[in-house]
Amino acid sequence: MSTAWMRFNPRNNIEKDMICDRILGTVHHGTYKKVIDVLFEKHELQERSIRKIARDGVELEIDLNEDMQEGDILAETDHYAYAIKIHVPKIPKENLDPINKVKHYL
């Protein structure tokens, strides 16, 4: 496991903080653990030191000297694998109007 330390919540025994210092693998090759998404924007994939919060509330401190890409597993527990998921923002509804599309295109 790539975690140097973990802090536990005594009420439900869930890890709250993890450190990632290397990529453990990729979910594209399959995993037997439940995958928890860690959302990144595209420009954040080039950062070497960043803190992110996974969808289940676990905070990951990421300190890598490797290139990151979608599907990379950053940390693991006995039951979960924390993997990179690229966040794609939704287009606002006003941009879906055909008249606005023409305005933005011109």
Would you list the domain boundaries of the chain? 6-105
Successive 10-residue mean pLDDT values, the chain, 106 residues? 41 65 88 90 89 93 90 92 88 62 52
- pLDDT for 8 equals 42
Q: Which residues contact 92 (CB under 8 A, 6 or more apart)?
A: none
pTM of the model: 0.70
- pLDDT for 98 equals 61
CA separation (Å) from 52 to 10, 19, 30?
A: 22, 11, 23
Architecture of the domain defined by 6-105: Sandwich (2.60)
- pLDDT for 9 equals 43
